[in-house]
Structure 1
Amino acid sequence: MNKVKLSNRSIEISYKDAGEGIPVLLLHGFCGSSSYWDAVVPLLQSQCRLIVPDLPGHGKSGVPQSPYPIEAFADDMADLLQQLNIGKAVWLGHSLGGYVTLAAAERHADRVGAFGLIHSTAYPDDEKGKEGRLKAIQTVLDSGIVPFVDGLIPKLFAPEHVESMSDKVEEAKKIGYATPPEGAVVTLEAMRDRPDRNEVLRQAACPVLLVAGENDQIIKPDKTFSVQSDSIRHALLNKVGHMSMMEHPEQLADKLSAFLKTIRL
Structure 2
Amino acid sequence: MIHFFEKGSGQPLVLIHGFCESGNMWNYFAEELSDNFRVICPDLPGFGNSPISGDQITLEEVAVRLEEWMEENHIADPIVIGHSLGGYVTLALLELMGSRIKAVGLFHSTAFPDDEDKKEMRNRTITFLKKNGVEKFVTSFVPPLFPEKRREELAAEIESAIEDAKRSSLDGLIAYAGAMRDRKDRLEILKNFAGPKLLIAGTEDGAVKIEASRAQQDAFSHYIELQGVGHMGMIEEREKTLEVVREFGVFSS
**TM-score scaled to structure 1, two decimals?**
0.91
Question: CA–CA distance in 1 between the matches of 2:230 and 2:24?
Answer: 18
Instruction: Quote the residue 1:190 is aligned against.
Output: 179
More helix by share: 2
1:1-265 correspondence to structure 2 within 5 Å: 12-229=1-218, 232-264=221-253
Tell me by how many angstroms 1:153 deviates.
0.3
**1:197-254 superposed Cα distances (whole Å, 9 cap, x missing partner):** 1111221111100111122111122323433448621011233211112222111111
- Contact 2:12 2:76 (C-alpha < 8 Å) held by counterparts: no
Letter in 1 for 2:92: A
Letter in 2 for 1:187: Y
**1:147-173 superposed Cα distances (whole Å, 9 cap, x missing partner):** 110111011112222111111111110
Question: CA–CA distance in 2 between the matches of 1:111 and 1:136?
Answer: 35
Specify every segment of 5 or more residues in structure 2 that has no aligned partner in the other structure, as ranges: none
**1:108-165 superposed Cα distances (whole Å, 9 cap, x missing partner):** 1143110000000011111111111111011111001111101110111122221111
Question: CA–CA distance in 2 between the matches of 1:48 and 1:78?
Answer: 19
- Contact 2:138 2:165 (C-alpha < 8 Å) held by counterparts: yes
Number of aligned residue pairs: 253
Letter in 2 for 1:115: V
Specify every segment of 5 or more residues in structure 1 that has no aligned partner in the other structure, as ranges: 1-11
The verdict on how the C-alpha distance between 1:240 and 1:229 changes in structure 2, with shifts beyond 3 A counting, is closer
Letter in 2 for 1:48: F
Identity rate, percent: 35
- Farther off after superposition, 171-180 or 238-247: 238-247
Instruction: Quote the residue 1:7 is aligned against.
Output: none
Instruction: Quote the residue 1:6 is aligned against.
Output: none
Letter in 2 for 1:95: S
**TM-score scaled to structure 2, two decimals?**
0.96
Letter in 2 for 1:158: P
- Contact 2:191 2:220 (C-alpha < 8 Å) held by counterparts: no
Letter in 2 for 1:21: G
- Contact 2:84 2:107 (C-alpha < 8 Å) held by counterparts: yes
More strand by share: 1
Letter in 1 for 2:74: N
Over aligned residue pairs, what C-alpha RMSD do you find? Answer: 1.4
